[in-house]
C-alpha cells in the first residue's frame, strides 16, 4: 500500500496563510495550557485574520454565527469595510475554556486549506460517517471522527502536512463519499451535508463558510465536540494525545492517490 501519511507537520510559513511557528504535537491532557493552545492552533490552522463566534440571544431567541468585528457586528456594512478581529492564541484559549464558541474559516489566501471536513447531520449521521471512515481506511486516508456541537451530527476530519489546493482537497472528499456510498449500498448518503472548505475558490466579497472548532469545553462536558475512539465509539480518554498521534496526508500522498484513482477509472472505462 502507498505510504500516504506523515506524522510530522510542515515547517511554518506566512502567518496569514495559516502557518505557525511550530508543527503540531505532541501534547497530552496534562500538558501546559500554552502547549495545548499552540498545538490546537497549528493542527486546526485556518485564516487567522478573521474568526466567528456563536451568538445566542435569550431576548429574541436568535442563535447563529457572526464574524467577530471590532466595535460589534452591524448590518449593512460591506465585507471589505469591516474591521474583523484576528484569530489569536487568546481567542483559542477562550474557546477551549468555554468562554467563547469559536468558528474558523478554512479557505486560505491562494485557495488552499490545511484540512478537509465532511459534515454529517441527522438520524443516520454516525452510521454513514463510519462508512466514510471505512472508505478512508480502504484508500489509505486517515480520518478522525468528531461528534458535532449538537451531539447528533458528525464531523469527519482529514489533516494535511502542508496546505493543498481546496479543489484537490474537495476532490479527495468527493472520492471518499463515492466509496462510502458503495460501502453503504445506497444511492446516496442521506445524512451528508457538505464539505469544508465548501468552495474551491474564494467567493466574491466573502471568505467562504466557517466550521465550529472542536473541544469547546461546555460541549465537551456532554461528550460533544470530541473525537471518538472508533473501536468503542466512546470519546478518547485523552483527546490531546489522540490528536497528537493522528496521521496526516502529505500533498505527494494525495497526488499519488488521485493518480491511482484516475488510472483505475481509465481501466474501467476501457473494460466497459
> For residue 244, what is its C-alpha cell?
497528537
pLDDT computed for residue 21 by the predictor? 52
d(CA 256, CA 259): 5
pLDDT tens digits, one per residue of 149-198: 999 999 999 999 999 999 999 999 999 999 999 887 765 789 999 999 99
pLDDT computed for residue 187 by the predictor? 58
pLDDT tens digits, one per residue of 20-61: 456 777 899 999 999 999 999 999 999 999 999 998 877 777
pLDDT computed for residue 114 by the predictor? 96
Residue 118: phi and psi, rounded to 5, are -105, 130
d(CA 155, CA 72): 30
What average pLDDT is seen over the chain?
Answer: 86
Domain ranges (residues) in the chain: 11-271
> For residue 54, what is its C-alpha cell?
456563536
Give me the DSSP letters along the chain.
Answer: ----EESSPPPP--TTTT--SS------TTS-HHHHHHHHHHHT---SS--EEEEE-TTT--EEEEE-BTT---TT--GGG--BPP--HHHHHHHHHTS--EEE---BTTTEEEEEEEEE-STTHHHHHHHHHHHHHHHT---EEEE-TTSS-EEEEEEEEEEEEHHHHHHHHHHHHHHHHHHHTSSS-TTEEEEES--SSPPTTS----EE-S--HHHHTTT-S-BEETTTTEE-S-HHHHHHH--EE-HHHHHHHHHHHHHHHHHHHHH-
pLDDT computed for residue 32 by the predictor? 96
pLDDT computed for residue 255 by the predictor? 87
CATH superfamily for domain 11-271: HP0184-like (3.90.920.20)
pLDDT tens digits, one per residue of 224-246: 999 999 999 999 999 999 999 99
pLDDT computed for residue 186 by the predictor? 66
pLDDT tens digits, one per residue of 238-269: 999 999 999 999 998 898 888 776 544 543 34
Which residue pairs, CB below 8 angstroms and at least 24 apart, start in 37-41? 37/89, 37/92, 37/93, 37/96, 38/89, 39/240, 39/243, 39/244, 40/92, 40/96, 40/213, 40/215, 41/89, 41/92
> CA angle, corner 211, sides to 61 and 10, nearest 5?
155
pLDDT computed for residue 65 by the predictor? 93
Amino acid at each position: 500500500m502507498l505510504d500516504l501519511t506523515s506524522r510530522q507537520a510542515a515547517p511554518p510559513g506566512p502567518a496569514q496563510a495559516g502557518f505557525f511557528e511550530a508543527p503540531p504535537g505532541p501534547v497530552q491532557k496534562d500538558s501546559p495550557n500554552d502547549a495545548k493552545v499552540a498545538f490546537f492552533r497549528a493542527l486546526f490552522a485556518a485564516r487567522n485574520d478573521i474568526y466567528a463566534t456563536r451568538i445566542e440571544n435569550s431576548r429574541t431567541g436568535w442563535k447563529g454565527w457572526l464574524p467577530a468585528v471590532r466595535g460589534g457586528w452591524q448590518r449593512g456594512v460591506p465585507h471589505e469595510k469591516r474591521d474583523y478581529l484576528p484569530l489569536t492564541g487568546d481567542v483559542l484559549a477562550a474557546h477551549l475554556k468555554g468562554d467563547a464558541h469559536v468558528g474558523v474559516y478554512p479557505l486560505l489566501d491562494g485557495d488552499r486549506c490545511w484540512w478537509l471536513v465532511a459534515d454529517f447531520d441527522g438520524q443516520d449521521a454516525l452510521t454513514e460517517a463510519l462508512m466514510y471512515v471505512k472508505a478512508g481506511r480502504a484508500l489509505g486516508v486517515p480520518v478522525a471522527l468528531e461528534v458535532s456541537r449538537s451531539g447528533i451530527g458528525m464531523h469527519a476530519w482529514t489533516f494535511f502536512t502542508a496546505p493543498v489546493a481546496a479543489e484537490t482537497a474537495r476532490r479527495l472528499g468527493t472520492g471518499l463519499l463515492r466509496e462510502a456510498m458503495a460501502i453503504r449500498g445506497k444511492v446516496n448518503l442521506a445524512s451528508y451535508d457538505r464539505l469544508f472548505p465548501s468552495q474551491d475558490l474564494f467567493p466574491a466579497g466573502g471568505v467562504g463558510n466557517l466550521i465550529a472548532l472542536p473541544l469547546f469545553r461546555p460541549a465537551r462536558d456532554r461528550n460533544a465536540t470530541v473525537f471518538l475512539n472508533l473501536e468503542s465509539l466512546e470519546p478518547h480518554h485523552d483527546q490531546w494525545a489522540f490528536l497528537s498521534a493522528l496521521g496526516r496526508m502529505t500533498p505527494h500522498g494525495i497526488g499519488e492517490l488521485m493518480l491511482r484513482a484516475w488510472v483505475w477509472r481509465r481501466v474501467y472505462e476501457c473494460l466497459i
